[in-house]
């Protein structure tokens, strides 16, 4: 019976680890909190350095957080959140009590066995706060724990790799606007070599890329999505008739995907910058690309029959 109870306790422990979340700290001053996970999303405020936030999700270089004292969600770049406490610990005793509070006199709410790895959410006077039962947390004494090296933690490894990739992309995007032609070509080739996995980041950073670098960005995205009619359709649908430069940006990408070898393509982004393009012309170009994309989709379906 005791073994069954212990098994249930440990099972519940791992099932609920996501409920309590992890506490991170803002590591820079004036960090923007945005309504979505993109640099072009609206900022509805900023957080000072050392603000503690709860991170509930991480993806594509962004952290979804619960705003302190407000209870609603926002997004910050993962570059600006740090976990300054060990986040993975291992039980070194044969059996370790989980208590309701950080005290030897607190009620015991469960037990964990030797070599069990736990997520540490906080530390207080020799005690670690961990996920315990659904929707609550418990405390374990650090005398019977050992720290798991951060480099052994796959979550932190993935986070570190994502941050490094994100920083590399940002640096190369800056180089796309470099005055040196060879530097621009090198940056474009390096971005292309990273593959299609970086397409979401490339698109997200478009609003902050220098105008001179947008041409290189269009070239990189078009090359990565070459002949992909589904992506072409996605970019065509982003031509909404409310932003001349943004619409021209997506038109250039879509036509490059659909007509990679055509030498008579319209330079939509250039024309928009020179104020030689109207919304009426954009709509006409959009409809033409929609028809071309439909023809290519029909042709691909015919070949696959």
pLDDT digits (tens, 9 = 90+) for 68-98: 666 678 899 877 777 654 457 788 888 889 9
DSSP string, the chain: -HHHHHHHHHHHHHHTHHHH-EEEEE-STTEEEESSSSTTSPEEEEE-TT-EEEEEEEETTEEEEEPTTT--EEEEEGGGEE--S--EEEE-SSEEEEESSSSTTSPEEEEEETT-EEEEEEEETTEEEEE-STT-EEEEEGGGEEEPPGGG-HHHHHHHHHHHHHHHHHHHHHHTT-S-HHHHHHHHHHHHHT-GGGHHHHHHTGGGS-HHHHHHHHHHHHHHTTT-HHHHHHHHHT--SS-HHHHHHHHHHHHHHH-TT-TT---HHHHHHTT---HHHHHHHHHHHHHHHHHHHHHHHHHH-
pLDDT at 249: 96
What pLDDT shows up at residue 301?
A: 78
Give the residues of the chain that fall short of pLDDT 70. Answer: 1-22, 27-29, 49, 68-71, 83-87, 121, 131-136, 148-159, 304-305
What is the pLDDT, as a whole number, of residue 9?
43
Domain assignments of the chain as residue spans, ordered by start: 2-82, 88-148, 156-304
The answer to pTM > 0.75 is no
Look up the CATH superfamily of 88-148.
Answer: SH3 Domains (2.30.30.40)
Topology (CATH level 3) of domain 2-82: SH3 type barrels. (2.30.30)
Given this model, what pLDDT does residue 292 score? 94
Amino acid 180: pLDDT: 95
């Amino acid at each position: 019976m005791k073994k069954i109870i212990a098994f249930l306790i440990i099972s519940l422990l791992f099932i609920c680890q996501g409920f309590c979340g992890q506490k991170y700290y803002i590591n820079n001053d004036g960090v923007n909190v945005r309504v979505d996970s993109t640099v072009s999303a609206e900022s509805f405020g900023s957080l000072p350095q050392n603000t503690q936030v709860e991170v509930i999700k991480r993806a594509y270089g962004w952290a979804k957080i619960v705003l302190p004292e407000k209870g609603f969600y926002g997004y910050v770049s993962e570059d600006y959140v740090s976990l300054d406490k060990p986040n993975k610990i291992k039980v070194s005793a044969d059996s370790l009590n989980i208590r309701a509070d950080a005290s030897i006199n607190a009620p015991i709410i469960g037990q964990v066995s030797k070599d069990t790895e736990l997520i540490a959410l906080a530390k207080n006077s020799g005690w670690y706060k961990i996920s315990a039962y659904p929707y609550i947390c418990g405390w374990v004494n650090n005398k019977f724990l050992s720290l798991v090296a951060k480099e052994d933690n796959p979550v932190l490894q993935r986070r570190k790799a994502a941050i490094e990739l994100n920083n590399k992309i940002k640096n190369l995007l800056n180089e796309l606007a470099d005055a040196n032609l060879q530097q621009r070509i090198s940056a474009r080739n390096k971005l292309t070599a990273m593959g299609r996995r970086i397409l979401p980041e490339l698109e997200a950073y478009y609003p902050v890329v220098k105008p001179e670098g947008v041409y290189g960005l269009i070239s990189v995205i078009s090359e990565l999505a070459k002949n992909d009619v589904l992506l072409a359709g996605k970019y065509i649908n982003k031509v909404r008739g409310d932003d001349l430069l943004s619409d021209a940006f997506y038109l250039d990408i879509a036509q490059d995907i659909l007509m990679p070898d055509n030498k008579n393509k319209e330079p939509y982004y250039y024309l928009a910058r020179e104020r030689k393009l109207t919304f009426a012309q954009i709509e006409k170009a959009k409809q033409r690309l929609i028809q071309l994309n439909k023809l290519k989709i029909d042709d691909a379906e015919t070949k696959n029959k």
